[in-house]
Every structure is written in structure tokens, then in C-alpha cells.
Amino acid sequence: MSLQFVNQYAEKFADLVTEQPIQPNGMSQLRLFNRTLWQQLGGSENAEHKLLKQLDGEQDWPGIRPLAQKYAGHQFGHFNPYLGDGRGLLLGEVKTPDGSYRDLHLKGSGPTPYGRGGDGRAVLRSSIREYLGSEALAALGIPTTRALLLTSTEGHVQREQLEPGAMLLRVAATHVRFGHFEHCYYRKLEAEQRQLWDYVIERQWPELKNASRDQQFRRVMESTAVMIALWQSYGFIHGVMNTDNMSLVGETFDYGPYAVLDQYQPEKIFNHTDQTGRYGFLQQPGIGLWNLKRLQMALSLSLPVDGFTAVLDDYEAVIQQAFFKQMKQRLGLTQVADEKAYSLVGGWLQLLQQHQLDYNMSFLQLERWYTHQQPVPFNELGKSWLQEYQQAVGGQPDIATMQSVNPLVSLRTHHLTRVIEASEQGDDSLLKDYLKALTDPFNRQYWQSQWAQPPAPEDQVGQLSCSS
């Protein structure tokens, strides 16, 4: 069975794309292939080597229609009209066997008209980070793009230093971003903007095709809010929440200098280019709302947006409710009244920050306190919280729920660094082992695994680079 391509984007939105072929960077070597995802798309088994030849230009790939997309965006709060796919191509739109639609997008496929002089290439380091990051978040139930295939290329790429090149084949519900609508607003493309909005709504949320514009915008708002609430509940920091990195359907998009909290230091800034801390962990909910307001402004070109203000007034309640729901589950408070649970969640976060405890590990230690009588590293203030917690849960929290939502294995920068260094030397054994653990994160057999271990003091993550 082959993929069912239904490419209509280029035909409908010719002013928003430039068609061009893949430009391989020498011969490629297959490093990772997501066979399960490939089959969900409708692909046949054992197709990875044929797919590799197609991406390298050795064989035709019937059905694809590679194109670079044009968009704009607010970057670190400042509008930039000169953005677009600078190193990636939308290869095609696929209708899957279950009737849903997915985009195939190849990163590192060569220069495009929107690359602003860039080389259009990707490096192995950042491509591994995106592959592992997206698959890890998917396993946690966080909406995200997915990784289908990773190759290293014969050609190397110059960044801060010369690095191994790579290509990453990414899958998304859609690659339409907030920035697409900002581009239309900037260029006064009224008809195209309205048609693009309708196109995404009909493809991704067909039940909303005939709904009011306010109802459609509410779905975008809610999807964005829930995604960010789940980021917050698992300690994920995106790092670059520019509007051109915001998916219209609320999928985690464009993995750059992301991190996951080790020690609970919510004020820490991980992106070294984020001098003002605009995209820090605690700022993410507010930036989500700020970005939605930019989307509302852009859509004023073609849609009646007055009602969107009332929709955005509900954003804070939606994100708080989604965060609280997840935290109740993580703490086993599913049978505790909301008012009491709110107090316990707040107290828990205060304890983690006060004691500089490992964020995700602390949930596991709380569970092990009940299941294995292992101590929890709190002082007297913490013991007071534990006493209050025990009283609230009636002596026993919802252990089964805790074990279904608290990962033993999570994205940790010191593990990523070690894995990448080995893969850059040609050894993918650690990469594949870490990927296996990340995609089965709730398996309690990983308790003694190397991948469950937090960093040593000397391995604490510093700031990360955007370069890719």
C-alpha cells in the first residue's frame, strides 16, 4: 500500500508557495525510521530504503509536490515580514487510512527563496533533538508534530563549527502557522487569508465547517491553551515561541533550543539568544495569549473578529483548568475536591522550588513513598505538606493514575548531549536505546535505567543555541 497524496495546497494558494525540487546534500545514510507512524500514514512495510533513495533523488517519488511556504511572524515581539521555509519543503499532503490528513515536510532539503541567504541545510545535532523531542512529547500525550525519518548526509554543514548534515522528515496535521495569516495581513491578501482559514478548518476540524467564526477561533484558542498547559505540567520549555512557530491546530512545532526542567528552576532561561527572558518557562502561558492576539489582529483583514475578544477572555480559565487537571492526575488527587487540590498543587510547586528538587523525579519519589516506603527529600515544611496530602487522599492517592501519567524517562539535556556526541561519531546504539525509552516513558521497569537518572551537578544544563 502506498501513500494517498491529495495535494491541493499549491493549487489553492499559489501566492503563498514556491515549488522546487529537493536538493540532496550528497548521499544519505538512514539513522532512524518510524515504521509505526509510516504505516499509520498508509505506507507499506519495509519501505525505508526505497524512501531513502527517493529523498536522495535516485528514484522518483510519485505523488509528492515539493514546495516552500511563505509566511511572516513576530520574532521576540517584533514583526518580520521576510520569513518562510528557509530549509524545508512541504513534500505533500496525505490522506491516511483513518480519513485524517497529514503533511509530510522535509527539513534540510536545500536553499529556498525564503532562506534569506541561508544554506538551507540541517545538522545532525538539531535533527536528533527534534526527532527525540517530538516523539517524547507524543508519548506523554502532548500535541506535537511527529518524526518519521532521520538521515545523515554526506555533505557537512557550517554552523559555529563544521557539523554532520542531516535531513528530517516531519509529519504534522498542518504546517499552517499563525505567521501565514500575518503574511496575508501584511500583503493585504484578503481572499487568500479567508480561504486558507477555511481550508485548515475543513481539513482538521470538519465538524466546524459551518460553525461561526467565533466557534472556529475558540477551537484554535483552546488547542493552543491545552498544548501550553501540558508543557507546563511536564516542565517543557519551547524556547522560541515566535508566531511563525505556532501551529494553527495547537501542535508543538519547530523544536529549537527546547529543554525540560531538571531542578525546578522556573525562572531559568535556556535560550542564550533570549536576553530578556521573553520565552522562559513561566512566560509561556502569557506568550500564548499574546500570540493569539496577534492572530486575531491578522484575521481582521478577512474575518469578523470582534467576538474573538470574548473568546480570548476565556483563555486563562482554559489553560488553568487543563494544567490543574493534569497536575491532579500527576499527584494522584483525582478523588480530592478541587479547592483542596488547588492548595496542594500550589504547595507542591513551592516545595520543589524551595528545595531545588528534580521536577519529574519528584513525582516518582512521591509515588515510591507509598509503594516502596522510600523517603521523600523534604524538610519539616515539606513534611507538613505531606501530612496535609495524606489527609486529603485518605491515606492512599490514586496510584494507578499517577503511574499512567508520571514518566520515568523524560527529555534531559545531559542524555541528549551524550546521545548526540555518540551519533556524530557514527554510533547510534545510545540514540536508539534512548528513543525506545522515551516512547515508553511510563514503564516502571525503567526505574533503574540510565535514562531515568537526573544529571549530576556538573551536568546541569546551561543555555542552548538556536543554531540548526
Assess contact for 247 and 177: CB atoms under 8 A: yes
Q: Which helix (H) or strand (E) holds 36?
A: helix 35-41
Q: What single string gives the DSSP state of each residue in 192-260?
A: HHHHHHHHHHHHH-GGGTTS-HHHHHHHHHHHHHHHHHHHHHHTEE-S---GGG-BTT--B----S-EE
Phi, psi of 191 (to 5 degrees): -65, -45
Q: Is 242 annotated as a binding residue?
A: no
CA angle 269, 274, 277 (to 5 degrees): 50
Closest among 74, 168, 160, 186 to 121, alpha carbons compared: 168
Q: Is 274 annotated as a binding residue?
A: no
Q: Is 107 annotated as a binding residue?
A: yes
Q: Is 146 annotated as a binding residue?
A: no
Q: Is 85 annotated as a binding residue?
A: no
Q: Is 428 annotated as a binding residue?
A: no
Q: Which helix (H) or strand (E) holds 428?
A: none
For residue 429 the three cell numbers come to 546504539
Annotation marks residue 313 as catalytic: no
Cα of 336 vs its chain's centroid, Å: 31
Assess contact for 288 and 221: CB atoms under 8 A: no
Assess contact for 353 and 265: CB atoms under 8 A: yes
Q: Is 92 annotated as a binding residue?
A: no
- What Cα–Cα distance (Å) separates residue 407 from each residue in 16, 99, 364? 41, 31, 8
Alpha helices per DSSP H over 141-207: 178-187, 190-204
Q: Is 170 annotated as a binding residue?
A: yes
**Catalytic annotation, pick one of 85, 244, 274, 428:** 244
For residue 162 the three cell numbers come to 563544521
- What Cα–Cα distance (Å) separates residue 10 from each residue in 13, 172, 193? 5, 17, 14
Q: Is 177 annotated as a binding residue?
A: yes
Q: Which residues have a catalytic role annotated?
A: 244
Residue list for the binding site for Mg(2+): 245, 254
Q: Which residues are documented as binding site for ATP?
A: 84, 86-87, 107, 119-120, 170, 177, 254
Residue ranges of the annotated binding site are 84, 86-87, 107, 119-120, 170, 177, 245, 254
